[in-house]
Every structure is written in structure tokens, then in C-alpha cells.
Amino acid sequence: MKKLSKSLLLGCLLGLSAAAFAAPEVDFVKNGVTVWKVAVPNSNVVGFQAQTIINHPINRVAEALADTDSANEWLPRIGNIKTLDKDNAANRVDLYMVIDMPFPLNDRELYVTSQAKRDAKGDLWISNDLMKNPPKANPDMVQITEYKGGWKLEKVGNSKTKVTLTGHADPAGAIPTFISNLFATQQPYEMMVNLKKQSDKARYKDGKVDF
């Protein structure tokens, strides 16, 4: 059985709590995925909301998220993921990840604390925040210091799950704002499309997760 805490890392590329959203604006709709731009107070980098329907039960989608050993099959631009600490009883995990950037940009590193819970309806929530007191930045990378977000999985039928990903992260360093904003909406789209395909794989059909 895969522990729910393992699924937490997959919302960690970008993040923004629903409470921080201000006037979402649809950026595009493509292949069943809707992506919104979200203005973030005191930041020139936009946040996002992405949403789609996956034609599988919620536990099957959750198991695909929980399979961290196969994360490189569908997560875009992730060079490394490492679990630093976890509390299975609290469904909480501290994670370190490296985001690959094209030459000549430095790769980004991100330290995140994620926590999951189920509500009374059985919907799954995964919140992600910067880890408190992260290690000193790697001199060969740029450490992301502005980040918040998460996932929501909602049962909308016996074999349908609405998946919502929200996020905001300033990649920092020498990246023009317009480039950051381009990736801010393209990357969640890729994640949704890839998660659909990942959930189709037969190894997730039993939906074996603990949460």
C-alpha cells in the first residue's frame, strides 16, 4: 500500500492556496484542460489554476500521484526528488527537488513541506508550503524562496475525478518575468495531460493508497 504522504510531492512544482486567488483569467483551454492566470499580490509572476476531469476513480488517480518512483515518467523538468522527512500519521512530508532549467540558466532547487487530508465528502486536498529553515542554498543552483500551492481531487462520478492544481512560484535569478509567466501556465497544462496518461496505466487500477 502506498502511503498518502508520498503523493504530496507532485503538487510541489508551483503553488498557491485558493484563498490567495484574485480574479482568475482563463488563459487557454486545450485537450480538456482549462488553465487560468491568477494575479498574485506583490509579485510580477502570475499564479495559475489548472483543472481537468480524469476518467478514473479518485483512488486510482491518487495512486498515480503517490507513485514517486515513477514520477519521472510524467512530471516535466524534474531532475531530482528526495524525501527528507515524513510523518505518515500526519500525512506530512518534507521534500527536496531540483527543477532542470535550459542552458545557460542555473537549475532551481526547492524545499517543500506538504500535507494531505480528506474532507467529509472524501475529496482529497494536498497543501504545499516552503519548508521552514531549509538548508543553505547550493552555490550551483538558485533556491526558490517564493512558493505556495496544492492539489485537490474531487469525486464527480463512480469513475470520474475532477483534478485542480493551483500554484505560484517565483523562480528568481536572471529570468525575465515574461518567460516566467509563460512557463507558469504551460507547465501545469503539461502536468494535467501527463497525469491523465499516467493514471491510465494498468498498475494503478486497484487504487491502493493509505489515507
pLDDT tens for residues 119-170? 888 899 988 899 998 988 899 999 988 888 889 999 998 899 999 999 888 7
Residue 60 has pLDDT above 70, yes or no: yes
183: three-class secondary structure by DSSP:
helix
Give the CATH H-level superfamily of domain 2-203: START domain (3.30.530.20)
Q: Which residue has the higher pLDDT, 63 or 161?
A: 161
Q: Which residues does 33 contact at the CB level (< 8 Å), separation at least 6?
A: 50, 51, 52, 189, 192, 193
Note the pLDDT of residue 102: 80
Q: Residue 15 — very low, low, confident or very high, per pLDDT cuts 50/70/90?
A: very low
Task: Sketch the domain layout of the chain as residue ranges.
Answer: 2-203
Note the pLDDT of residue 1: 41
Question: What span, in angstroms and rounded, lies between the C-alpha atoms of 116 and 29?
Answer: 28
The gap between the terminal CA atoms of the chain, to the nearest Å, is 10
Note the pLDDT of residue 16: 38
Note the pLDDT of residue 148: 87
